Amino acid sequence: MKIQLPFTVKMIIEKLESKGYDAYAVGGCVRDTVMGKCPSDWDICTSALPCETLDVLKKDNIIKNGIKHGTVTVRFDGQNYEITTFRTDGSYLDNRRPSNVTFVSSLREDLSRRDFTINAMAYNDRDGLTDYFSGAADIEKKLVRCVGEPDKRFNEDALRILRALRFSSVLGFDIDKKTSEAIHKNAELLKNISFERIMSEFVKILMGKNVESVLLGYSDVISVFIPEIIPMIGFEQKNPHHVYDVWTHTVKTVAAVKNEKTLRLAALLHDFGKPQKFTVDENGVGHFKGHPKVSAEMAKNILTRLKADNKTKNDTVKLIELHDVRISPEPKYVRRLAAKIGEELYPSLIELKRADSLAQNPDMRSQKLEYADKLQRIFNEEVSRGAVFSMKSLALNGNDIINLGITDGVEIGKCLKYLYTLVINGEAENTKQALTEKLRDIKKD
Ligand code: ATP
Ligand code: MG
């Protein structure tokens, strides 16, 4: 098999080889090229020790970080290339980190410490593809399979449990039976992994095309770090709008929404408050009054625990709070809703509502989708006619108001709010002249 290596990778490998060392492209980049995809970054492994790698590449633009883990980073044409010395990991502590790493001279040993067969292939032009663990065959079979004994590999490093789910979700691969059994068996070990590392993998799982089967098939794993899902699993909704239990509906909403981080998180967390808010009326029909607010509070706690950044957290919470609003599809109400959620987030809210409908009873779907389309269309029309959704876009600002003779800060604030409400409600045009007149009117009164 011939892989077209990028110029820089080829150059680094050839320089190392010319000094008698072995060097290969390795890991994700080989997996991606074997799959016919363009890798986002290229990692290189070599028999040269870090100081020897530095020596060989000394004229190049070298960043000396991570040298103690055996990694030298070379920056070239704005891109980083990581060159790591062949190594094995020593014994593992706390299911998450090796106590020490040992440099070794054989590629085989280096590949055998790697997590999955599809990630344990190496390539250079001299030797072609090195694939001791049948990674290429597993790519063909669309299978995530541990290198070595799965139970042992997950005990060494529990993050691999989420990495397996991530590759399954992103690549659309199944997980090999033995690997899958070991994932279920060892899921609790994730308690030893920091929430930052969990979150980073979990977001990738959520973004994958195979997210539905991963979340449904491995809810026991997800519940280790988000135990709030446990009451949702199998929770029947007893409502004609729904055909799935709360967890299945949730997962289907995630799969139906665009794969954008905030949207996928909002879809995941939008109904978490349902089990708490469940009531059954005299006809035996289930209701969840007030669940968006409870879900939003729970989402805030969960995202704080998982160390989401503030923007992601705030946007997600806002979307959840408003996911169930039912406004009359008229410009005035659309403007109010857009003002409430913010112009930037409004399309995401509609996208979330659309996905939520897609995950409900198919018999009632088309009218809900039409409604979502209408809310988006009206918003688009409002945007193109220059409608205002935030106080900042008012045609009159604080200085203009001062120039009209109102100098008290509190009064200025009140005026702005008053004008903003008029504009949102369609009772005034957003022009300097119209707004000035409105202020003159109240001054007269
Ligand atoms: P991506 O496309 O996301 O970069 P990747 O496979 O390159 O995927 P990285 O996290 O960049 O993933 O890791 C590079 C390589 O290092 C992997 O392909 C794998 O061979 C190895 N590796 C990474 N993390 C682990 C781990 N926790 N245990 C064992 N091997 C690992
Ligand atoms: Mg990588």
Among 43-57, 95-109, 238-252, the range scoring the smallest mean pLDDT is 95-109
- What pTM was estimated for this model as a whole? 0.92
Ligand nearest to the CA of 115: 1
pLDDT in tens, 136-164: 999 999 999 999 999 999 999 999 999 99
- Smallest CA separation from ligand 1 atom 15, residue: 27
Residue 47 has pLDDT above 70, yes or no: yes
Which of 32, 82, 115 has most ligand 1 atoms within 8 Å of CB, for mutation? 115
- Domain of residue 135, CATH code: 3.30.460.10
| Residues 211 and 231 occupy one common structural domain | no
Average pLDDT of span 348-368: 96
- Domain of residue 315, CATH code: 1.10.3210
Q: How far is CA 196 from CA 203, 204, 269, 303, in A?
A: 11, 13, 18, 11
| Residues 377 and 234 occupy one common structural domain | yes
The answer to whether position 147 is within a domain reads no
Phi/psi at 411 (5° precision):
-60, -40
| Residues 159 and 278 occupy one common structural domain | no
Q: How far is the CA of 119 from the centre of ligand 1 (A)?
A: 7
Q: How confident is the model at residue 65 (pLDDT cuts 50, 70, 90)?
A: low
CA angle (146 as vertex; 142, 148 as ends), nearest 5? 135
Q: How far is the CA of 21 from the centre of ligand 1 (A)?
A: 23
pLDDT in tens, 346-355: 999 999 999 9
Q: What is the DSSP string of 166-217?
A: HHHHHHT-EE-HHHHHHHHHHGGGGGGS-HHHHHHHHHHHHHSTTHHHHHHH
Which residues line ligand 1 at a C-beta cut-off of 6 Å?
27-28, 40, 43, 114-115, 119-120, 157, 159-160, 163
Average pLDDT of span 416-427: 89
The residue out of 141, 172, 192 marking a domain boundary is: 141
Are 237 and 226 in contact, with CB atoms under 8 Å apart?
no
Ligand nearest to the CA of 197: 1
- Smallest CA separation from ligand 1 atom 11, residue: 28
The answer to whether position 43 is within a domain reads yes
Which among 128, 198, 125 is positioned nearest to 165, based on CA atoms? 198
Sequence-separated contacts (24+) of 415-420 with Cβ below 8 Å: 415/439, 416/391, 417/391, 418/442, 419/394, 420/388, 420/391, 420/394
DSSP 8-state class, residue 396: S
pLDDT in tens, 81-127: 999 999 988 777 777 777 778 888 899 999 999 999 999 999 999 99
Q: How far is the CA of 116 from the centre of ligand 1 (A)?
A: 9
User: What integer pLDDT is reported at residue 153 of this predicted model?
Assistant: 97
- If you average pLDDT over every residue of the chain, what do you get? 94
Q: What is the DSSP string of 278-297?
A: -EE-TTS-EE-TTHHHHHHH
| Residues 30 and 103 occupy one common structural domain | yes
* % of the chain surpassing 90 pLDDT: 81
The residue out of 141, 167, 186 marking a domain boundary is: 141
| Residues 203 and 179 occupy one common structural domain | yes
* % of the chain surpassing 70 pLDDT: 98
Residue 443 has pLDDT above 90, yes or no: no
| Residues 379 and 230 occupy one common structural domain | yes
Beta bridge partners of 123: 25, 129
| Residues 285 and 304 occupy one common structural domain | yes
- Smallest CA separation from ligand 1 atom 6, residue: 28
Q: Where are the alpha helices (DSSP H) in 270-343?
A: 274-277, 291-305, 310-322, 331-341
Q: Is 418 exposed, middle or buried (CB count within 10 Å of its CB: 0-12, 13-18, 19+)?
A: middle
Gap between the terminal Cα atoms of the chain? 85
Q: How confident is the model at residue 69 (pLDDT cuts 50, 70, 90)?
A: confident
The answer to whether position 1 is within a domain reads no
Q: How far is the CA of 71 from the centre of ligand 1 (A)?
A: 14
Cα dihedral 81, 50, 121, 88, rounded to 10, equals -140
| Residues 369 and 246 occupy one common structural domain | yes
The answer to whether position 150 is within a domain reads no
Q: Which domain holds residue 402?
A: 391-444
Q: How far is the CA of 97 from the centre of ligand 1 (A)?
A: 14
The answer to whether position 149 is within a domain reads no
Residue 204 has pLDDT above 70, yes or no: yes
- What is the bridge-based pairing of β-strands 97-98 and 79-85? unpaired
User: What integer pLDDT is reported at residue 196 of this predicted model?
Assistant: 97
Ligand 1 atom at shortest distance from the alpha carbon of 204: 3
Which among 225, 194, 196 is positioned nearest to 96, based on CA atoms? 194
DSSP 8-state class, residue 64: -
- Smallest CA separation from ligand 1 atom 24, residue: 115
The answer to whether position 146 is within a domain reads no
291-305 helix and 310-322 helix, angle to the nearest 10 degrees = 170
| Residues 236 and 380 occupy one common structural domain | yes
User: What integer pLDDT is reported at residue 250 of this predicted model?
Assistant: 98
The residue out of 83, 115, 141 marking a domain boundary is: 141
3-class secondary-structure state, position 416: helix
Ligand 1 atom at shortest distance from the alpha carbon of 157: 27
The answer to whether position 291 is within a domain reads yes
Q: How many domains does the chain have?
A: 4
Ligand nearest to the CA of 26: 1
| Residues 404 and 428 occupy one common structural domain | yes
Instruction: State the Cα–Cα distance between residues 224 and 316, nearest whole angstrom.
Output: 22
- Smallest CA separation from ligand 1 atom 1, residue: 28
Residue 252 has pLDDT above 80, yes or no: yes
User: What integer pLDDT is reported at residue 66 of this predicted model?
Assistant: 62
Q: How far is the CA of 82 from the centre of ligand 2 (A)?
A: 10
- Domain of residue 395, CATH code: 1.10.246
Ligand nearest to the CA of 147: 1
The answer to whether position 148 is within a domain reads no
- Smallest CA separation from ligand 1 atom 18, residue: 27
| Residues 31 and 131 occupy one common structural domain | yes
Q: How far is the CA of 223 from the centre of ligand 1 (A)?
A: 24
3-class secondary-structure state, position 386: coil
- What is the bridge-based pairing of β-strands 279-280 and 286-287? antiparallel
| Residues 180 and 301 occupy one common structural domain | no
